[in-house]
Chains A and B, each alone.
Chain A
Amino acid sequence: MKLRMFLAAALVCALLVAGTSCRQETRADEKGKIRVGIVFDIGGKDDRSFNAAAYDGVKCAETGRHPDGTPCEKPSLGIMLRDVEPGNPTSIEPAMRAFAERGYDLIIGVGFAQAPIMETVAKDYPNINFAIVDGASELPNVASLVFKEHEGSYLVGMIAAKESKTGKIGFIGGMDIGLIHRFAKGYEEGAKAARPDAEVMVNYVGVTDGAWNNPGKGKELALAQIGKGADVIFTAAGNSGLGAFDAVEQAGKDSSGRATHFVIGVDSNQNCVKPGFVLTSMVKRVDNAVYQIVSDVVEKKFKGGFHVYGLEADGVAYSMDKCNQQLIGPDVLQQAEQAKQKIIAGQVKVTDAMKQ
């Protein structure tokens, strides 16, 4: 009896497998729509930072709604969206090729690590548009979406120095690479501009990919900087930065209810991660950049080459909302706003650490 059951089950499975294998493209990709494929970084689309911002951008383009269901300020572009979270570096190239094989209109790669892979794939498919966030490519069919992180960091550096009581501020970078040096250098220049005697401590979590995902080490570094007198800490360390959030919360508040130490968030708006302890966030509007490139493709205006996002179009900015408006004085904000206008007008030049 049992045997028969097993054989029947096996037969059903065999039929199931045989029946499916010959129906290759059952999912008819909806006709007439612009098709966009996005390949995330190893962190995946729910990292609450960089990848999450990219996902937000494409999701707004697809549905007009953020991933959490709230409406975007921008309209839906009526595209068809498919995404891949590669999980390991070996899957990135085949994921891009999967979209290319099916003739997608735009393929977006997230993160500088994908740039060399995108180069090889884009060469094989010159008629497909590609976009790489944070990476650079010379190919005519690849758009490089890059940000002036140094300018945004300059402004939060000013705010940090102004709001600091000790005159000592900290910076915690993730991986010790050029891209993060850009944050550090801008931050330092901003702080020095606002307060020439400001002291900036710079530390990095590590030198491998793991440096983005080590909150324990992030917290240790933050505690060490606090121990040396720093009372505002800017993190540009992905998930590791969240350790610094814990560290300033641990330092507590004074009798007036104001926190004694602050942290500055990065990439996404992290002001409300620990309300009262986050001075501001240096947001990098990856979502806007990604939405823009999708809309370019929809309107058939796609252009390869560098697309640089700076302060002028809020490509980078410091974020103000209900979680931090009590924390920063109006005079400080006014000064930051003035500096912003000067940078946009070209009167103030912020050093780009990657171009030295």
Chain B
Amino acid sequence: MKLLRELLFPVIAVLVAFVVGGVIVWVIGDNPFEVYGLLLGSALTWPDGIGYTLFYATPLIFTGLAVAVAFRCGLLNIGAEGQLYAAAFACAWVSIKLGGTVIKGFDGSPIAYGWASLPAVLLVPLALAAAMVVGGAWGAVPGWLKARFGAHEVITTIMMNFIAVSLVSYFTQYYYKAPGDPIMESVPIGESAHIARLGSFVPGLPERLPLNVAFLLAILACVLVYVFLWRTKWGYEIRATGANPSAAEYGGINVRKQIILAMAVSGALAGMVGINEVLGYRYRYYHEFSASYGFTGIAVALLGRNHPVGVFLAAILFGMLIRGGIFVDAFSQHVTKDLVEVLQAIVILFVAAEALFRGPFSRFGLLKRSKV
């Protein structure tokens, strides 16, 4: 019953968004049933639709969890975007340097980028660790600034986004790009750093789908975040800080430490996006690879009510919308993929304006005010 109540508003918000979106489609001049058929049909077919939906959902699970953890501590982490860029580059850097990348130069002679060529058992964990540590550090800095100087995390995280993107672009452009490559991307990572695509061991799933082991890591991250927040002392202290910092401090909790810890965990989670993109999909750092995952993660956390289960479901929904949006753009008569953005916006609007529904529902005793 409690779960049902938690799910009620997000589900209503999504349904209302679809109805409003349908009206918009109708006004534009397409048949809403056809457009939704296209949207959901393309997102839910096996194997391509589902494979891509889950692939798109993977980074959103990570960033959704990242925002949720910070939010449980009363912090709004707008910096997941920067954290994941810094982390993705770090991940690629380790996989290039220790993966023994060698490319062919203009004259055919090999150019070595790597220092060493480690086997997969060592390299993959190191690359994972690099992504999480750098992402975590990038998140911890605004945490420390908040704890030490009271600098507002919204300002500092958003500033850190710009720094991260510019910094990794600089390194990519001047040190890690193949000579003459017109595309802003690093040289490929060492082959031993590639992580398996799910298609290589799931029957019926073709290996060309980019869905990879990072999706399983994302599920694992959901479980671990749940355990961390609700079953450990640290998680309890983070939640207590988020609920009421003064009371938490009075209760003997070091609030400053909790802020830094929450931001570091948040950054590490956001950084794991790099694993999906670099180790599992492109096998290199690619400029602007993130389709605003860090910012969409805020919406995912909001819709998922800052709970790992909710984040997982919301990320799947957004993954469906991204996948379906491409098909709507391609195969509908008038509607473009902007419809997807309209749908997302309406969902967020309705989730945010929850109080609008709360009145009528609570009158019938269907709902009580939710507790932290």
Chain A residues with CB under 8 Å of chain B are 2-3, 6, 9-10, 12-14, 16-17, 19-21, 23-27, 29, 37, 82-91, 93-95, 97-99, 101-102, 112-113, 116, 120, 124, 175, 177-179, 207-209
Q: In the complex, which residues of chain A have a beta carbon less than 8 angstroms from the beta carbon of B289?
A: 89-90
Known A-B contacts A6-B360, A101-B48; A20 and B19 likewise in contact (beta carbons under 8 Å): no
A117 CB → nearest B CB, Å: 10
Given the complex of chains A and B, what is the CA–CA distance between A151 and B271 in angstroms? 47
Which of B19, B180, B290 has the most A CB atoms < 10 Å from its CB?
B19
User: With a CB–CB cut-off of 8 A, which chain A residues contact B292?
Assistant: 88
CB pair A24 B37 closer than 8 Å: yes
Q: Which residues of A contact B360 (CB under 8 A)?
A: 2-3, 6
- Cβ–Cβ contact A89 & B288, under 8 A: yes
A112, B182: Cβ atoms under 8 Å?
Answer: yes
Contact check, A37 vs B33: say whether CB atoms are below 8 A apart: no
Which residues of chain A are within 8 angstroms of B287 by Cβ–Cβ distance? 208-209
Quote the shortest CB–CB distance from A2 to chain B (angstroms). Answer: 4
Pairwise interchain contact B16-A124, C-beta atoms closer than 8 A? no
Decide: B42 and A98 in contact? CB cutoff 8 A: yes
Closest residue of B by beta carbon distance from A101 = B48
With CB as the reference atom, state the residue of chain B lying closest to A115: B183
Stretch at the interface among B93-101, B190-198, B257-265, B323-331: B323-331
- B interface: dominant SS: helix
Option from A6, A12, A83, A94 in Cβ contact (under 8 Å) with B52: A94
**Contact call B41/A21, Cβ cutoff below 8 A:** yes
The reply to whether B37 and A26 form a contact with Cβ atoms under 8 Å apart is yes
CB <8 Å contact, B34 and A175:
no
Minimum C-beta distance from B174 to chain A (A): 8
For the complex with contacts A13-B18, A85-B336, 11 further pairs of A-B residues with Cβ separation under 8 Å are: A13-B16, A16-B32, A20-B41, A27-B333, A84-B330, A85-B329, A87-B291, A91-B291, A91-B326, A98-B326, A178-B180
A21 close to B37 (CB less than 8 A): yes
Asked if B208 is at the interface (CB within 8 A of a chain A CB), the reply is: yes
**Interface residue B45 (Cβ < 8 Å from any Cβ of A):** yes
Please tell me which one of the listed residues B15, B31, B37, B327 contacts residue A10 in the complex, with CB atoms under 8 A apart.
Answer: B15
Whether A17 lies near B15 (C-beta < 8 A) is yes
Q: Considering the complex, give the chain B residue whose CB is closest to the CB of A97.
A: B48
Find out whether the CB atom of A16 lies under 8 angstroms from the CB atom of B36: yes
CA gap between A120 and B208 in the complex, in Å: 9
CB neighbours (8 Å) of A124 from chain B are 208
Chain B: interface residue count, which band? 35 or more
Residues in chain A near residue B31, CB distance under 8 A: 26
CB-contact partner of A3 in B45, B48, B327, B364, under 8 A: B364
Q: Mark B321-344, 1 if CB is under 8 A from A, else 0.
A: 011001101111100110000000
Cα-based distance from A29 to B34 in the complex (angstroms): 13
Find out whether the CB atom of B19 lies under 8 angstroms from the CB atom of A98: no
Once bound together, how far apart are the Cα atoms of A12 and B183, in whole Å? 48
Residue B44, interface by CB 8 Å: yes
Q: B171: which A residues are within 8 A, CB to CB?
A: none
Instruction: Say which residue of A83, A87, A98, A178 sits within 8 Å of B327 (CB atoms).
Output: A98
Of chain B, the residue at the smallest CB distance from A25 is B41
B: which residues have CB within 8 A of A? Answer: 12, 15-16, 18-19, 22, 31-34, 36-38, 40-42, 44-45, 48, 52, 56, 169, 173, 180, 182-184, 208, 210, 286-292, 322-323, 326-327, 329-333, 336-337, 357, 360-361, 363-364, 366
For the complex of A and B, the 8 pairs showing the least CB-CB separation, nearest first, are A24-B41, A13-B15, A88-B291, A177-B182, A20-B36, A2-B360, A20-B37, A23-B37
Are A26 and B33 in contact, with the CB atoms below 8 A?
A: yes
A95-B183 CB under 8 A given contacts A12-B19, A21-B37: no
Which chain B residues border A83 with CB–CB below 8 Å?
329-330
Interface contact A19-B33, CB-CB below 8 Å: yes
Please tell me if the beta carbons of A6 and B15 are within 8 angstroms of each other in the complex: no
Partner of B357, one of A6, A29, A82: A6
Q: Which of A10, A19, A20, A120 contacts B12 (CB 8 A)?
A: A10
Whether B16 contacts A9 by the Cβ 8 Å rule is yes
B residues less than 8 Å from A87 (CB atoms):
291, 337
Report yes or no: B330 in contact with A99, Cβ–Cβ below 8 A: yes
Which of chain A's residues has its CB closest to B181's CB?
A177
B364 — which chain A residues lie within 8 A by C-beta?
Answer: 3
Beta-carbon nearest neighbor of B22 in chain A: A16
Query: Would you call B326 and A27 a contact (CB within 8 A)?
Result: no
CB-CB under 8 A from A10, the residues of chain B are 12, 15
Q: Tell me the nearest residue of chain B to A14, going by C-beta.
A: B15
B337-A85 in contact (CB<8A): yes
CB distance from B316 to the nearest CB of A (A): 15
Question: Inside 8 A of A82's CB, which chain B residues have their CB?
Answer: 330-331
Q: In the complex, which residues of chain A have a beta carbon less than 8 angstroms from the beta carbon of B19?
A: 9, 12-13, 16
Query: Mind listing 19 A-B residue pairs with CB under 8 Å?
Result: A9-B19, A16-B32, A21-B44, A24-B37, A26-B31, A26-B34, A27-B38, A27-B332, A27-B333, A29-B331, A82-B330, A84-B329, A85-B336, A85-B337, A98-B327, A98-B330, A102-B331, A179-B182, A207-B184
Q: How far is the CA of A16 from the CA of B180 in the complex (A)?
A: 52
Q: How far in angstroms is the closest Cβ of chain B from A111?
A: 10
**Contact residues in B for A14 (Cβ distance below 8 Å):** 15
